[in-house]
Structure 1
Amino acid sequence: MLDWKIILDLLVSVLLVATIGYAVMLNQRLTQLRRNRDDLAKIIVSFNEATVRAESSIPKLRKAADDAGQSLQDRVEKAQSLRDDLAFMIERADTMANRLENAVRSARTEVKGGPAPAPPPAPRAQTGGAASATSGPASGGGFGHSSARAATMAAAAAASEQDADERSEAERELLRALQSMR
């Protein structure tokens, strides 16, 4: 029976060696897990720090976006105001061009013959006002002789008789430009 005891002792020792080997391998894996856990903890800490920085920068970004939006809104309002002013100035310039055109026509008819009644000014569309104002007498077309020049001067004089308080700055500049063309 000794043989069986030795065989059983050998079997237990082999199993103990296998268990010790398995315990060593398990210890190595646990060490790796602990090392990875420390790395994971470092990653989590840096992620938390990044999250805190991102949360603290959100109000700054909102403020910057609000400031940019307000600045853009102010510029849009200024642009709309300028657009309205320009539309008004174009309308006034169109009216002034009609007056000048009528004055030139009447001056030409006075030079050629007797006085003729001037036709009433035709209303012009606002979109074509700038183009029609430059195609009229102010563009210089047909002013090759002295009677046309006299008609222009007469028209400018007639326009200058208008009350100065009624005129806008644009009308005054237009009159100055016409007078400087003499």
Structure 2
Amino acid sequence: MTMLEWVLQLALLLMLGAAIPFALRLERALREIRADRSALEGSAQGLSEAARMAEAAMVRLRASAELAGRQVAERTATAEPLRDDLRYLVERAEALADRLEGLVRAGRPIANETPRPAEPVPLQSQAERDLLRAITLGARAAR
């Protein structure tokens, strides 16, 4: 072997020696990547399972919201006639209260002049009679 061959082989040997630490570092990095890859795959499976569970929960939530909406609509439909009835009763009660107030005002000057028992005012309906009875019982209880 000639000197040139020896020099070339020595240079090749030095380069191979210098490449060994790089190869070891590369092998360790590849091992870590493989470990991270399995962890990533596990995370991806967990993420897909969480997405499926979230979709199922969203479907259940949507069904619950629709059911609640239907129940509210039914109750609202039931309450509207009651509201109308109450509005009618309040209007009648206000009219009766105004009428009763007028009768009381008209009766005060008479009561101040001559004390005598009050004559029952002829009432038109059972509601008016009940209202007058409730007012007189309330006035007696207040004394």
Q: Tell me the TM-score range normalised by the shorter chain.
A: 0.7 to 0.9
In the alignment, what sits opposite 1:176?
133
Task: Write out per-residue CA displacement over residues 58-81 of structure 1, whole angstroms, 9 at most, x where no aligned residue.
Answer: 221012212332333345445544
In the alignment, what sits opposite 2:5?
5
In the alignment, what sits opposite 1:135?
none
TM-score, scaled relative to structure 1? 0.60
The SS at the match of 1:84 is helix
In the alignment, what sits opposite 2:54?
54
What amino acid is aligned across from residue 21 of structure 1 in structure 2? Answer: P
In the alignment, what sits opposite 1:93?
93
Aligned-pair identity (%):
34
Larger mean CA deviation between 65-74 and 40-49 belongs to 65-74
TM-aligned CA deviation for residue 6 of structure 1: 1.7
TM-aligned CA deviation for residue 100 of structure 1: 2.5
What amino acid is aligned across from residue 5 of structure 1 in structure 2? Answer: E
TM-aligned CA deviation for residue 85 of structure 1: 2.8
Q: Distance in 2 between matches of 1:8 and 1:107?
A: 136
TM-aligned CA deviation for residue 179 of structure 1: 4.0
- The count of residues paired between Structure 1 and Structure 2 equals 138
What amino acid is aligned across from residue 11 of structure 2 in structure 1? Answer: L
What amino acid is aligned across from residue 52 of structure 2 in structure 1? Answer: V
Note if 1:154 corresponds to 2:120: yes
Q: 1:146 to 1:27 in 2, by over 3 A?
A: farther
What amino acid is aligned across from residue 131 of structure 2 in structure 1? Answer: L
**Alpha-carbon RMSD:** 3.1
Q: 1:3 to 1:173 in 2, by over 3 A?
A: farther
What amino acid is aligned across from residue 178 of structure 1 in structure 2? Answer: I
TM-aligned CA deviation for residue 163 of structure 1: 4.6
TM-aligned CA deviation for residue 154 of structure 1: 2.4
The SS at the match of 1:89 is helix
Higher relative contact order (CA 8 A, sep 6+): 1
TM-score, scaled relative to structure 2? 0.74
What amino acid is aligned across from residue 135 of structure 2 in structure 1? Answer: L
What amino acid is aligned across from residue 4 of structure 1 in structure 2? Answer: L
Larger mean CA deviation between 68-77 and 22-31 belongs to 68-77
TM-aligned CA deviation for residue 41 of structure 1: 0.2
Q: Distance in 2 between matches of 1:71 and 1:6?
A: 95
Q: 1:83 to 1:146 in 2, by over 3 A?
A: farther
In the alignment, what sits opposite 1:122?
none
What amino acid is aligned across from residue 120 of structure 2 in structure 1? Answer: A
